[in-house]
A and B are shown apart, each in its own frame.
Chain A
Amino acid sequence: MIEASGLSKRYGATLAVDDLSFTVPAGVVTGFLGPNGSGKSTTMRMILGLDAPSTGRVTVNGRPYGQYRRSLFEVGALLETRAAHGGRSAYDHLRCLALSNGIGRRRVDQVLEQVGLEEVARRRLGGFSLGMGQRLGIAVALLGDPSVLMFDEPVNGLDPEGVLWIRTLVKSLAAEGRTVFLSSHLMSEMAITADRLVIIGRGRLITETTVAELLAGGPGNHVRVRTPESLKLATLLRARGISVTAQLDGTLHITGVDPDVVGELARVNGLRLQELSTQHATLEQRYMELTGEAVDYRTADATFASGRVAP
């Protein structure tokens, strides 16, 4: 279990992480989601004791990371950039790190095989592709067979087969009762892989939720109505304090009410409806809505509602 409370990190004038509190429980995959530059990597570095929090604290299984001895047995981490010397072979890289925790050669061979790098184990890392580098990082994380695993953007640079492999691996690790914390800026990936979500933007916690909860609630769900008398209906709705937006295709998007309310209002006023339906936001849309305000840089004309990326 990872517990962060009031975690902040300030670099000069910028507050990279701002009063962040969340919990990553064991036995499920927790996705750590946020736009690029929202403070995910900084937070992960603070969990690993690499960066010191400006304020607040974070513990792994109840203890600050810095107190761990032979920490590979407790926590395995895939770090954001390839944290390896390009002149060293994959085998030597793993061997050197394994030695530091008293882990033997047999385990090095095992993890090399597990991540599918045994064929290239003697090759120098400088020639590794991004995907091979990710596999190597995962091999490092698995060395000590730890109960807590953290992967920073693990699917970056992986081919579809690699993405599927990570997804299966991560789920099986959580199914074994381990704590699995996975960062990504891709909601679509998290929707498939993660059970729980910690969503941040600009260093602040936006929500801590589950995939199911996120899909169920929120303003992203709306009622769609098509009617030849849309202006009349819109006026009627607005008169009752209901939020309505007219879309370019002539439909109305109505939020905050059930479809039967709209239907009844139309019937009472004798308006003909051609379509009346509830539209569920995709996870991607919900994510965009949640993080929309927190994105530092975005394209000026981005219309989030038009996103149709199904999970």
Chain B
Amino acid sequence: MSATTANETPNPAQRGVWSEFADVLRSEFCKLRSVRSSFWTLVATVVFNVVFAALVAIFIPPHLSTADLATTDPIRLSLAGLHLSQIAIGVLGALVITSEYSTGMIRATFTAVPRRRMVLAAKVIVLATAALLVGTISSYAAYFTFQGFLSGDKLTSSLGDPGVLRAVTGGGLYLAALGLLGLGLGIIIRSSAGTIATLFGLLFVPTILVSVLPHSVQATIAPYLPMNAGEQIFIATHHEANTLGPWTGFGVFSLYAAIAIVIGFATITRRDA
């Protein structure tokens, strides 16, 4: 065993920072694809979206009155499965980092790559890519499944209709941002259970809490709550008062994820691994 024959890359320590980052990216992609939980959470994302779209398309339209139809957004309805698939993506985002802490893998990771922020950046990119890809595919699959399962002409739409393309694409964007929020919280919290509980607490609890407040206060706060803000991006036609615009809402939602990730990046070098 000698230094010259053992390695295929004779002097890799001297290559630049970008080639170093490219290697860390490959490593993080390798980690993502080599555990079953990634595969199953991504499959679950697609399955939830598609199955819900079919079920909603079959069972909901007969119950809708003309008044209902006027206030129902067909895209939001076809993406009803997002409420479940977001759990799968959120869990995946959390596990990308928390599984390393729970198994001790993080110590092997940081021993191999002492630049911790480089590891985190690679995780962000790999997760965002996977979540955006699978999220977008599942969102479009849900849209077409919904259209395919509709009988009659209630709720039909085409991608050319106003806001439809943006809303269907927005389903994928929403899932990607949500996955990043899970990752960001995971970097800070480190434990899988704690991260997942916090993530879904953050999504569901504020909405419930705000509902007990006086209406005037509700109207001010509610649009900025994570889920209320985030879901605007996958609604084609807005019928509700007191909501943010689609891109503003998505921006606010992404900001939650960004804040979590920035805190994670800021603290990672100061905490013991």
A interface with B by C-beta (< 8 Å) = 45, 48-52, 65-75, 77, 79, 81-89, 92-93, 95-97, 99-104, 106-107, 110, 114, 140, 142, 144-145, 147, 176
In the bound assembly, the distance between CA atoms of A106 and B5 in angstroms comes to 11
Do A50 and B111 touch across chains, with their CB atoms under 8 A apart?
yes
**What would 5 A/B residue contacts be, using CB atoms closer than 8 Å?**
A50-B111, A82-B104, A83-B111, A100-B26, A145-B3
In the bound assembly, the distance between CA atoms of A235 and B104 in angstroms comes to 60
- Cβ–Cβ < 8 Å partners of A100 in chain B: 23-24, 26-27, 109, 112-113
Q: What residue in chain A is nearest B273 (Cβ atoms)?
A: A50
In the bound assembly, the distance between CA atoms of A96 and B25 in angstroms comes to 10
Expressed in whole angstroms, the minimum distance between the Cβ of B186 and any Cβ of chain A is 15
Q: What residue in chain A is nearest B13 (Cβ atoms)?
A: A70
B interface with A by C-beta (< 8 Å) = 1-3, 6-9, 12-13, 15, 19-20, 23-24, 26-27, 30-31, 34-37, 99-100, 103-115, 270, 272-273
- Cβ–Cβ < 8 Å partners of B30 in chain A: 92, 95-96, 99
Partner of A52, one of B12, B103, B106, B270: B270
Total inter-chain residue pairs, C-beta < 8 Å = 131
In the bound assembly, the distance between CA atoms of A110 and B5 in angstroms comes to 11
In the bound assembly, the distance between CA atoms of A70 and B12 in angstroms comes to 8
Do B112 and A66 touch across chains, with their CB atoms under 8 A apart?
no
Do B273 and A107 touch across chains, with their CB atoms under 8 A apart?
no
Do B112 and A101 touch across chains, with their CB atoms under 8 A apart?
yes
In the bound assembly, the distance between CA atoms of A293 and B19 in angstroms comes to 52
Do B23 and A84 touch across chains, with their CB atoms under 8 A apart?
no
In the bound assembly, the distance between CA atoms of A130 and B61 in angstroms comes to 58
- Cβ–Cβ < 8 Å partners of B36 in chain A: 87
Partner of B99, one of A48, A85, A142: A85
Partner of A81, one of B27, B31, B104: B104
Do A83 and B12 touch across chains, with their CB atoms under 8 A apart?
no
Expressed in whole angstroms, the minimum distance between the Cβ of A156 and any Cβ of chain B is 15
- Cβ–Cβ < 8 Å partners of A84 in chain B: 103-105, 108
Do B6 and A107 touch across chains, with their CB atoms under 8 A apart?
yes
Do B27 and A107 touch across chains, with their CB atoms under 8 A apart?
no
In the bound assembly, the distance between CA atoms of A66 and B268 in angstroms comes to 13
Q: What residue in chain A is nearest B9 (Cβ atoms)?
A: A102
In the bound assembly, the distance between CA atoms of A145 and B26 in angstroms comes to 21
Do A66 and B114 touch across chains, with their CB atoms under 8 A apart?
yes
- Cβ–Cβ < 8 Å partners of A93 in chain B: 34
In the bound assembly, the distance between CA atoms of A86 and B37 in angstroms comes to 11
Given contacts A45-B272, A51-B273, list 9 more A-B pairs with CB under 8 A. A70-B20, A74-B13, A79-B107, A82-B104, A84-B104, A99-B26, A101-B12, A102-B20, A110-B6
